[in-house]
């Protein structure tokens, strides 16, 4: 079933749908990221380390680590390992516990992995637990054992075999496979469900002008001391608005 933009009443509707399209099938969870054989450094399970690490090659975290990582290739957090900090790499694989943000071309959260933080990637595959936002340029997949509790999951194509709670934005297609469920606000261009898949929530048609990611524009001139704004009981943004208005009025006076 696909949603068009011709009828306004189709853009927002409360609904729970179960559409029969394909027979139920077993979803196989395959390994997406393999650790390279060369240029790999290892922090074993006996180590507790603090500090930032950056450089070439790949890194395996087996113990406890606190700090930020930036590697050119792969970062792998093993089952049982714990990491607090942000990770940036070409690919990231989480089988342990991570509290921090991930930035990579490919992100994989395995069945035993958990993440409390945000994901920015091209491809994201979730088989474990994720609590945070996901912005994945190409695809996001939440597999059988995957649970995503999100403020927003945004991607061209989103495939759900596990469970997603929160806002979902798919610029091309949201696909819910048998056994999968999405509960929250759904914004998508197209939608497809198998028998046994469920979608519950407010469904809207994707509109690029409204739903594309836009960088927040910060007005440097609006950096007004918050203590001053408290004294006069005004929000700093309001102060800046009034300042612009006064400036415009002054300019008009000069012209006269």
Q: Answer yes or no: do 141 and 202 share one domain.
A: yes
Q: Answer yes or no: do 133 and 181 share one domain.
A: yes
Q: Answer yes or no: do 207 and 234 share one domain.
A: no
Q: Does 127 fall in a domain? A: yes
Q: pTM for this one?
A: 0.73
Kindly state the average pLDDT of the residues 51-61.
95
Provide the 10 A C-beta neighbour count for residue 27: 17
Q: Answer yes or no: do 159 and 188 share one domain.
A: yes
Q: Answer yes or no: do 182 and 134 share one domain.
A: yes
Please give the tally of structural domains in the chain.
2
Residue 158 lies in domain = 8-211
Kindly state the average pLDDT of the residues 155-163.
97
In the chain, the percentage of residues whose pLDDT exceeds 90 is: 64
What kind and span of H or E run contains 245? helix 236-255
Q: Does 3 fall in a domain? A: no
Q: Answer yes or no: do 67 and 105 share one domain.
A: yes
Are 163 and 144 a contacting pair, CB within 8 Å?
A: no
Report pLDDT for 238. 52
Looking at per-residue pLDDT, the higher value among 240 and 167 belongs to 167
Q: Does 246 fall in a domain? A: yes
**3-state secondary structure (DSSP) of residue 221:** helix
Distance CA 171, CA 156 (A): 5
Report pLDDT for 63. 95
Report pLDDT for 33. 86
Provide the 10 A C-beta neighbour count for residue 105: 13
Q: What is the pLDDT of residues 71-90, one digit of tens each?
A: 999 999 999 999 999 999 99
Q: Answer yes or no: do 148 and 225 share one domain.
A: no
Q: What is the pLDDT of residues 20-47, one digit of tens each?
A: 343 444 445 567 888 777 899 999 999 9
Q: What is the pLDDT of residues 104-129, one digit of tens each?
A: 999 999 999 999 999 999 999 999 99
């Amino acid at each position: 079933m696909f949603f068009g933009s011709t009828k306004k009443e189709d853009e927002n509707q409360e609904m729970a749908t179960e559409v029969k399209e394909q027979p139920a099938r077993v979803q196989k969870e395959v390994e997406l990221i393999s650790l390279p054989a060369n240029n790999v450094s290892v922090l074993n399970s006996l180590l507790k380390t603090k500090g930032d690490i950056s450089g070439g090659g790949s890194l395996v975290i087996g113990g406890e680590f606190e700090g930020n990582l930036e590697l050119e290739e792969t970062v792998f957090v093993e089952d049982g390992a714990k990491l607090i900090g942000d990770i940036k790499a070409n690919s990231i694989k989480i089988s342990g516990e991570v509290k921090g943000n991930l930035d990579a071309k490919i992100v994989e959260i395995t069945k035993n992995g958990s993440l409390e933080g945000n994901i920015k990637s091209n491809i994201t595959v979730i088989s474990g637990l994720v609590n945070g936002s996901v912005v994945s340029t190409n695809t996001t997949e939440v597999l059988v054992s995957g649970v995503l509790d999100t403020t927003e999951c945004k991607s061209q194509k989103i495939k759900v075999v596990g469970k997603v709670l929160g806002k979902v934005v798919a610029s091309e297609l949201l696909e819910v496979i048998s056994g999968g469920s999405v509960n929250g606000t759904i914004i998508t261009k197209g939608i497809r469900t198998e028998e046994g898949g469920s979608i519950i929530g407010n469904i809207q048609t994707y509109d690029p002008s409204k739903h594309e990611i836009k960088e927040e524009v910060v007005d440097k001139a609006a950096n007004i001391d918050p203590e001053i704004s408290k004294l006069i009981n005004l929000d700093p943004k309001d102060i800046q608005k009034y300042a612009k208005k006064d400036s415009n009025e002054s300019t008009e006076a000069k012209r006269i």
